[in-house]
Structure 1
Amino acid sequence: MVYEAFALLYDELTYDQPYDQWLKLTAPYLDAANSVLDLGCGTGSFTTLLPRHLERVGVDLSADMLTVAAAKDASIQWLVQNITELQLDKTFDVITCYCDSLNYITEEDDLDSLFARVAEHLSDDGVFLFDVHSLWKMDYLFAGQTYCDETDRITYLWQTEPGEAPHSVYHDMSFFVLEHDGRYSRYDESHYQRTYSVSFYENLLSRHHLTVDRVFADFDINQTEVEESERIFYVVRKFHKS
């Protein structure tokens, strides 16, 4: 997903995102790690929280997002790539893909390609952590809703409509940004997301010798009943081919 003008507004609009909670969930898997790859890293707000002694690489499709990220921490390697076609010629101990970035991969073949790339880039006994919107959230919470919010200089409207594919949604957003001359500029973005069942993700991962070690919901490792949760987390490990 290329965010265009949204890249310059993203951090201000996502001021309330729980990056510290994503880090808390990731931290136990970093103790024995030497390297971390963050997929769909956006402006790097999570990536820059990762311990500095680790080799840190952030990948995103949007060069504009990564320009913002690089200004935060130049010691991280920021790479523009489509994560479904990832090619880094190295492996990592931990791979992350948070903030529902995986839901922007809306075609089954592309998702299969991503998991294949993850398997190729994950060290033996490495861990892949990601989150996605639940079916319940996609089908009910995002069913024709309108949201709005504002900061000191930005007002935005966000409308959702069900997509044609099962468990998919269109997000249509308009941003009104106060400029230095006192006038407002308008920016529009349209995003499309899709999610799948837990069993679907598990089966697709298994094709690439990746096994789901743990599934939980809403940042709570003890919440294993995920059907009516909002965000589902997966802890995935690489196992050897027989």
Structure 2
Amino acid sequence: MRDRQTDEYDKKVDELRTKIKGLDQLKVRDDVFDEYTLLGLYKLLSRGWITAMGGPISTGKEANVYHADRDGTTVAVKIYLTRTANFKKMQDYITADRRFINIGKTRRDIIFAWTRKEFSNLKRAEKVGIPVPHPLVFDRNVLVMEFLGDENGAFPQLRLSEFEDAQAVYDEIIEYIRLLWKKAKLVHGDLSEYNILFGKGHPYLIDMGQAVTLDHPHAPGFLKRDLEQLNRFFNERCITREVPDILEELCGSSPQ
């Protein structure tokens, strides 16, 4: 039998669904704001982490990011898509991560774990001084974090940015990679000009969900790929370092 509390909970979720779908600027679809997402948003709203939802910052195959208000402060709300996210890719990254060995195997289990994984990775990166969006809270497939932007809007991706000193930007990102490996004991695993933002004269790392710890069997290979991707973007913009040299410095050898 349903009790009054359950009925009230369902009523609030239905109200939230109606409210979100009524915001034309969100251009929402059922595969974004499904029942699990609405439950997570309702919980975050009821606890004060979100005051109101706003329009999209970015959309993608794995997740959408939205503006949201928290008592007058703009925050970013990242929603992993429970129906369309690349479940197999996520599973491959999580399976060998010792932090998540006891999670379930369903699509929902993997995506919820992925959200928790990004929250954890952001905290580890931030702790060692790497500029990332400050993670605030997560619930189910919803992650609330600092909004990276200013009065003109969100900071642009590196590929769309204009910077006077490409060498300084490249060197700064290399230092982030070094700090991730040496201090945070992480490898980003998918680093490119698409998941580095640039604002206020500095790069910021984002999309840390796939980052793995150094005991992951593919960590050295992921590091090599990150460096190659970075060099590909900067090769015609500044002097880049040889990937084998950086690998030798960080991990003592170059993965094949």
TM-score normalized by the length of structure 1:
0.29
Q: Which has the larger radius of gyration?
A: 2
More contact order relative to length (CA 8 Å, sep ≥ 6):
1
Q: Give the structure with the larger strand fraction.
A: 1
